[in-house]
């Protein structure tokens, strides 16, 4: 038995009161993660049903690592645990927004930054380049 009921009709997805996440063909749903205090974008990750259930049950963010093919409790080794302050679901329940408090903000990204989004894409004619924000690295 699944931890979540299967998605229903469009009206139920969009207006209903039951969480029925629409996992993709790989069994994942996208999670956008922001800092609950500042609102800054921290990361984008994916959750399978087990990660979502553990997150809801514990209040600590869990994800599915697509590269390691493993369940991932964010911050378990670094100490940068993400305590979920609020979770929202989008209109058709195929994306989540987590507002979190991070125990060690400098370890949000494995690069030692407070956000995984520390580069700006600059376009000059046909050339696209990445500009690294100097203030982003905390450690």
- Residue span of the structural domain in which 28 resides: 10-105
Residue 46 lies in a domain: yes
State the pLDDT at residue 94: 96
Residue 98 lies in a domain: yes
Known binding residue 116? Answer is yes
State the pLDDT at residue 58: 97
Known binding residue 107? Answer is no
Residue 138 lies in a domain: no
Has residue 48 got a pLDDT over 90? yes
68-87 residue pLDDT tens: 999 999 989 888 899 999 99
Residue among 91, 88, 93 at smallest CA distance from 20: 93
Known binding residue 26? Answer is no
Residue 14 lies in a domain: yes
Residue 125 lies in a domain: no
- Establish how many alpha carbons lie within 13 A of residue 111's alpha carbon, considering only the half-sphere containing its beta carbon: 12
CA angle centred on 16, ends 94 and 39, rounded to 5°: 50
Known binding residue 126? Answer is no
Number of domains in the chain: 1
Known binding residue 91? Answer is yes
CATH number at residue 88: 3.10.20.810
State the pLDDT at residue 31: 98
- In the chain, the N- to C-terminal Cα span, in Å, equals 44
Residue 95 lies in a domain: yes
């Amino acid at each position: 038995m699944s931890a979540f009921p299967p998605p229903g009709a469009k009206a139920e997805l969009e207006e209903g009161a039951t969480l029925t996440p629409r996992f993709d063909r790989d069994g994942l749903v996208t999670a956008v993660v922001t800092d609950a205090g500042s609102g800054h974008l921290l990361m984008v990750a994916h959750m399978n049903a087990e990660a979502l259930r553990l997150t809801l049950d514990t209040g600590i963010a869990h994800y599915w690592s697509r590269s390691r093919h493993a369940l991932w409790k964010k911050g378990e080794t670094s100490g940068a645990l993400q305590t979920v302050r609020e979770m929202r679901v989008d209109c058709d329940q195929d994306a989540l927004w987590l507002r979190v408090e991070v125990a060690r903000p400098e370890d949000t990204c494995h690069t030692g930054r407070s956000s995984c989004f520390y580069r700006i894409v600059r376009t000059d004619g046909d050339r696209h380049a990445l500009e690294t924000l100097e203030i982003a690295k905390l450690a």
